A and B are shown apart, each in its own frame.
Chain A
């Protein structure tokens, strides 16, 4: 195989929309882009540890299929030739679905692609590999004992966040312009914040999760990470639509957003989350929210009723439902679990049934009260993480004098929103050289992903949000 040509190299670090346009306009071939992306992964990933599998042959074959379709004059999809990678809990045909675990490594390779991958492939995207994560998605740090910690490209002594840490790091390092993650309690939004990239956690039930290894089915969402709001929209649109293979996926028509993202914020009532979301956080997290609020002219402070109780209920559902999925393995081979989660899993399976059932019933109680916030606004700004990326191995953090466990509390601000199932764009705040990234959540009412993406794109356009690719340092 020859190395990537200069045209491929020039495009490999660009965004998804730019690559797809260049491929469609014949300024570069999809194979050239794929070769350049693979070469980049080979060269850079050792310092980041984002990839657990590189699907080289598949990437080149999918790219060649795009080039062949172009040569025949056939239409190609909106993501034609765009390299992407997926959290390793998504089924990839012929690849073992690890879900970050040692145990699942013994399973046979997947027989078919996950639904989200099939839809991206149909849109012309080119899969280059599978990405590291916390074991069974249970964590916010991607400090995976079996496969090593994923390192933050902005400072490789720090965590990338999790559980979609490989997805955040691969996009931040410019290895791919697009990655798939999942978000149960914050697993797209936390790494997006700590790695300084955009992420979209759609409404619960919007995107099919079929062929993705479950963590907590009652809370699991699929979504994209990218370096611009427009790229998120392209990928999100390609993955929309009902899917009978996922019992949670809603029977909603495709509601395209890509043509909407440039509409600006005129007419939108934007507020800033208060109450629960004013809890202790580092100066940089508060600064990010205040800076975004100022730029949007958002002066209204809003309480999302019962957000704290929502977080507590999400914690119970996660601890119990997320553990019961693994009861057979916990009985037969507990020592093979990730040490960071093993004791939590063993405890979760012993909790009284009443606690889990109460959490499920309280979900509707919280929903009815929390939704009232949208009588006063269309979009809410909230912190994503309470701080920038801590060093790998950090167990405790102190925020405004309050000492707390680092790992679970990285999701302090994301957990109530995924519990409610509302759509969120995770938006990285533009920063000065040498500063660590941090993001904010742009939250809208159920099924209004378009509003999240519009505000995210507006923040990008006025220079408040940015996600430039960085070379790992």
Chain B
């Protein structure tokens, strides 16, 4: 699993924002990077679970 501390989140924000057409005001940029780092930390806890191919998400859509 990737250690979030080794990721360049600033570069990540720049490239993914460009990929989805989101222009981020430079005034908000540091806050966005800090928040993404925090989400990445929490994702570590959830990604630590090894799921099998049969472990489906619980969908609620009923045709």
- A: which residues have CB within 8 A of B? 205, 247-248, 308-309, 312-313, 315-316, 319-320, 327, 330-331, 334-335, 342-344, 346-351, 354-355, 357-365, 367
Contact yes or no, B39 A347, CB < 8 A: yes
A309–B42 Cα distance when bound, in Å, is 9
Q: A320-B39, A351-B39, A358-B43 are in contact. List 4 more A-B contacts (CB 8 A).
A: A343-B32, A351-B43, A362-B51, A365-B51
Q: Is B3 part of the binding interface, using a Cβ–Cβ cutoff of 8 Å?
A: no
Q: Which residues of B contact A359 (CB under 8 A)?
A: 46
B28 to chain A: which residues have CB within 8 Å?
A: 334, 342-343, 346
A5–B17 CA distance with the chains assembled, in angstroms: 61
Return chain A residues, CB-CB under 8 Å to B51.
358, 361-362, 365
Question: Which 6 pairs across A and B sit closest by C-beta, in order of nearness?
Answer: A343-B31, A347-B35, A360-B57, A312-B45, A347-B36, A355-B43
Contact status A316-B13, CB under 8 Å: no
Whether A346 pairs with B32 at a CB distance below 8 angstroms is yes
- Partner of A316 from the list B12, B42, B55 (CB cut-off 8 Å) is B42
Smallest CB–CB gap between A143 and chain B, Å?
17
Q: Which residues of A contact B35 (CB under 8 A)?
A: 319, 343-344, 346-348
A466 to chain B, nearest CB (A): 37
Q: Beyond A316-B39, A343-B28, A364-B58, is A350–B49 a contact (Cβ under 8 Å)?
A: no
Question: Which residues of chain B from 14 to 63 have any CB-CB distance to chain A below 8 Å in the complex?
Answer: 16-17, 20-25, 28, 31-36, 38-39, 42-43, 45-47, 49, 51, 55-58, 60-62
Given A334-B28, A346-B32, check contact A361 B56 (CB 8 Å). yes
Chain B, interface size category, equals 20 to 34
Please name the residue on chain B nearest to A408 by beta carbon: B38
Complex alpha-carbon distance, A363 and B12, angstroms: 27
Contacts of A247 in B (CB 8 A): 60-62
* CB closest residue in chain A, given B38: A347
Residue from B16, B45, B62 with most neighbouring chain A CB atoms (10 Å): B45
Which residue in chain A gives the minimum CB-CB distance to B12? Answer: A350
Docked complex Cα distance between A355 and B45 (Å): 10
* B contact set with A: CB distance below 8 Å: 12-13, 16-17, 20-25, 28, 31-36, 38-39, 42-43, 45-47, 49, 51, 55-58, 60-62
Of chain A, the residue at the smallest CB distance from B50 is: A365
Collect the chain B residues with CB atoms within 8 Å of residue A347's CB. Answer: 13, 32-33, 35-36, 38-39
**Using Cβ atoms and an 8 Å threshold, which residues of chain A touch B16?**
350
Distance from B44 Cβ to chain A, minimum over Cβ atoms (Å): 8
A sample of 30 inter-chain contacts (CB < 8 A) reads A247-B60, A247-B61, A247-B62, A309-B45, A309-B46, A312-B42, A312-B43, A327-B20, A330-B22, A343-B31, A343-B34, A346-B24, A346-B28, A346-B31, A346-B35, A347-B35, A347-B38, A350-B12, A350-B13, A350-B16, A351-B39, A355-B39, A355-B46, A357-B57, A358-B43, A360-B58, A362-B46, A365-B49, A365-B55, A367-B58
Residues of A within 8 A of B24 (CB): 334, 346
Across the interface, do A316 and B61 meet the contact criterion of CB distance under 8 Å? no
Q: Considering only CB atoms, which chain A residue lies closest to B36 in the complex?
A: A347
The smallest beta-carbon distance between A341 and chain B, in angstroms, is 10
Report yes or no: A358 in contact with B47, Cβ–Cβ below 8 A. yes
Q: Is B31 within 8 A of A316, CB to CB?
A: no
Chain A residues with CB below 8 A from B60, complex form? 205, 247-248
Q: How far is the CB of A150 from chain B (nearest CB, A)?
A: 25
Bound form: Cα–Cα A218–B32 in Å = 24
Question: Which one of A319, A342, A343, A364 lies within 8 Å of B57 (CB-CB)?
Answer: A364
Specify which chain A residues have a CB less than 8 angstroms from the CB of B55 in the assembled complex.
361, 364-365
State how many angstroms separate the Cβ of B57 from the closest Cβ of chain A: 4
**Once the chains are docked, how many angstroms separate the CA of A320 from the CA of B34?**
15
Closest chain-A Cβ to B6's Cβ sits at a distance in Å of 15
Task: List B contacts of A308 (CB < 8 A).
Answer: 45
Closest residue on chain B to residue A343 by CB atoms: B31
A348, chain B: closest CB distance, angstroms = 7
Best-buried of A248, A330, A334, A354 by chain B (most CB within 10 Å): A334
B31 → A minimal CB distance (Å): 3
- Give complex CA distance A316, B55 in Å: 18
